[in-house]
Amino acid sequence: MPLVDPFTTSFGTETEKEAYIFELKKDGISAFSESVTSIGPFYSYEDNTTAFHIIKSYLAELVLDAPQPAEFIARSSKVKGHNMAKAALEMLLWDYHSRKSGKPLHEYIGKSKGYADVGISLGIDRKEATLKKIQAALDRGYKRIKVKISKGKEMDILTPIREVYPDIALSVDANTDYRLRDLEILKKLDRFNLVYIEQPLEHDDILDHARLRKEISTPICLDESITSAERAEQALEVEACEVINIKPGRVGGFTESLKIAELARERKAHVWVGGMLETGIGRSYNVALASLEAVDYPGDTSPNDKYFERDLVRNPFSMENGTIRPNSGTGIGVDIDFEMINKVKIEAGTF
């Protein structure tokens, strides 16, 4: 599916979404999920091809009897890593079992606020275009603006934004573009009064982030580095971050996401729910999770029309005063647009 707007980060530009969509049919219930992997392994080592290989060869057979998510996690633990592949099926089971219980997912998983606070994630673009997008986002009520930065471009990106908008809640996402040796540049970001800087250093690093945190006043948010609740605990323990971006795909699903949200609450850290340019199917999971009381910062859970002209669902999210209500139907509550799926489908198969 073509993206409404190309999305540029420090690791590249995405112009389209190619997603694996899963449907689990059993006992008259149909559940849906999505793998958050991309075409290439540039956000993490997983991509669509690796995820599909792992699912086809090792994981699909573990969900055919629709076990509880915890049982699936136990069964799949022999596969090392490949969290996004695992999450696609683990979340499918959360949808399945919440549908079976007759509850919407956001109520099934814990204490829901009934809405999610929403921020926007803007890719790297020309200065004029970025300022225009920020104004449009503020007009639509977004509660936080996040801009992507890359090494060497950070000042040119942030200076004009802060000139025009000295007080807005602003954050940056470096997607691993810096190293500790770039400390002098990172220190300069302190003057912009950012809510946080997301993932400045390597994708699998904790220790250097802890070192960096002592040198800068901008709070650090970890995204790529947090691949499990255990990792989150270690990061908080050594004070590598005070904010965590929870992406259920990156941590292997909802079970681990819920643990991280609870952990952050105990440790007085902050959490929010990130995004991976998901279709309406993956998005509905993110919005359900972001509605939890334990999630205290606005997430990257924009309404569907930021990404696609026509999505895979007939009930896209709409935003009011910077908040989105999770779907009220059972499970993820999506009304699948099968006509659209057929239109954009590359191939389909059955396990």
Nearer to ligand OSB among residue 90 and residue 224 (C-beta): 224
Using rule CB under 6 A, residue 22 touches ligand OSB = no
Q: Which member of 88, 241, 277, 340 binds ligand OSB (CB under 6 A)? A: 277
How many residues of this chain bind ligand OSB (CB under 6 A)? 11
Alpha-carbon distance of 136 to 273, in angstroms, equals 22
Under the criterion CB under 6 A, does residue 242 sit at the interface with ligand OSB? no
Query: Residue 282 or 331: which CB sits closer to ligand OSB?
Result: 282
Among positive and negative, which fits the CA dihedral 194, 198, 202, 204? positive
**Residue of 148, 153, 188, 306 with catalytic role:** 148
Catalytic: 148?
yes
Per-residue DSSP letter, 20: -
Interatomic CA distance for residues 340 and 304, integer angstroms? 14
- What one-character-per-residue DSSP string does 74-123 give? HHHTTS-S-HHHHHHHHHHHHHHHHHHHTSBHHHHSS-B-SSEEB-EEE-
Out of ligand OSB, Mg ion, none, what residue 300 binds, judged by CB under 5 to 8 A for its kind, is ligand OSB
Residue whose CB is less far from Mg ion, 21 or 240:
240
Shortest distance in whole angstroms from residue 221 CB to Mg ion: 8
Contacting residue, 223, 242, 278, 337, with Mg ion by CB under 5 A: 223
Which of Mg ion, ligand OSB, none has residue 43 at its interface (CB below 5 to 8 Å by kind)? ligand OSB
Does residue 275 bind ligand OSB (CB under 6 A)?
A: yes
> CB nearest Mg ion: which residue?
223
Look up residue 78 and give its two tokens. Answer: 């022999």
Work out what residue 308 binds among ligand OSB, Mg ion, none; the CB cut-off runs from 5 to 8 Å by kind.
none
Reference 274, options 90, 118, 148; nearest CA is 118
Q: What is the distance between the alpha carbons of residues 54 and 230, in angstroms, rounded to a whole number?
A: 23
Which of 262, 329, 256 lies closest to 293 in space, CA to CA?
A: 262
Interface positions, 179-208, toward Mg ion (CB under 5 A): 198
Measured CA distances, 5 to 12, 18, 149 (Å): 14, 15, 17
- Nearer to Mg ion by Cβ, of 117 and 224: the residue is 224
Among 76, 255, 302, 330, binds ligand OSB (CB under 6 A): 302
What's phi and psi for 254, nearest 5 deg?
-75, -35
- Report the catalytic residues: 148, 247
> Which residues would be at the binding site for ligand OSB (CB under 6 A)?
43, 121, 173, 175, 223, 274-277, 300, 302
